[in-house]
Structure 1
Amino acid sequence: MALLNTSNLALLTFICYLLLVRICRYRRVNKTTAKYAKHEHDKLELTPQEAQQIVHDSLLYDAPLTMLLGFQITLFKVFGISSIAAMFFKSGHLMRETDLNKRLVDTVTLMSTILCNAFPPRADTDDASNPRAAIALARVNWIHDKYQINEDYLFNLALLIQEPIQWTNRFNWRPHSPLEKKAIFILWTNIGQSMGIKNIWSTYEEMEQWTESYGQKNMIPSETAYKLSRTTINHFVNQVPKFLGL
């Protein structure tokens, strides 16, 4: 009987632990959903600042790994567009592993700075004295100023929205909520507008249809895409410990 009671107590403790984990895990997203429930009910759009706060919490707490992997896959996937691959290949910046690593680090640093600091800075908050996001965005615009902004930029923007969401939905312990998905879309489209990208979609569904159509027309095999992809794959494989045999 004592053994049975001990077993029951252990089972009850384990169930309570799982329940506590469930409550704590969903506490942040439930709080966020409740906070912006009025937006859903009254069909109100999130402001860029509200969208950024939602994305910030998701990126730093609930889905940091899968969202980061999604960003990295975006940097790899754009090589499938022949015009983008040709541009990178011509620059020569990504054909050496050291240059590729610098691009990855610079991109993640700039994007993280934009996402984790007030965007755009607001005069009615303390963030007005923190210009980091504005400086990072200006740096991004300066880097891309030498290139003509066209639909390739629009495709890249779409991947920055879609890939983190898709990777989180597939591999994270929970998918993004509809509110988080909307926030990611609103924040990135505002960043795209600040970069001067034209013809940005008005809805996530419109973006999905456009991206699929654009990819089918323009994502074709090319020698430059292969060389860039091979360099990128080798870079990531080299990060794996040798004893694993890769």
Structure 2
Amino acid sequence: MIPRPPHAGIIAALDTGSPQRAEALAEALAPHVGCLKLGLEYFVANGPAAIARIAARAPIFLDLKFHDIPNTVAGAVRSACALRPAMLTIHAAGGPAMVEAARRAAEEAGPDRPAILAVTVLTSTDAATLASTGISGGPAQQVLRLARLALDAGADGLVCSPREVPMIRAAHGAGPLLVVPGIRPAGSAADDQSRIATPEETADAGADWLVIGRPITAAPDPAAAAAAIAGSLRR
């Protein structure tokens, strides 16, 4: 698995369907970040071979958010491990049997297996959205519920918003790997995120990896933007 960084590391989210755009960003950003995130848009548009080309430049966070019956998710994890991602996401809401099946399948890949990260509540989700699906109590309560479920079932870490990092650390200590999207440098637009914080705030709260997309990739100079954020985290 990818080692825990000495200070909060940056995962640059290459949220594009274009292989040319993704490869250009990967080339520019690899010296300044610890990992590159590729998700559903890129994978569906381009397939495994295109993932492998990006993986040649930097460790990959393969963010496909598997959520299905345990046997199907286990098979998907085995297939994904062939791409040698550093991190791989599943949905905690799939339940403990699914999380355990994902972890067992990943372990078949040996010591270089990916970290299995359980997504708790998406950073675009607010209390009203949860209520519309029949879940009461708001995002924080649901995150804590799903965090315990996933960690007890064998997940290596969690994906949560910046707002939930302190409460997860209080409940589960330093052990779980916390990967945190919804990062917006001061003055940046929130875009479609509803639970956000700055890189410095999130690092100070105890996050291990910060997932940053548009503030880097939409900047006039993505490499300079990534370097500036990385520098702010080392101070």
TM-score (norm 2): 0.30
**Higher RCO structure (Cα 8 Å, ≥6 apart):** 1
TM-score (norm 1): 0.29
Structure in which a larger fraction of residues adopt strand: 2
Structure in which a larger fraction of residues adopt helix: 1
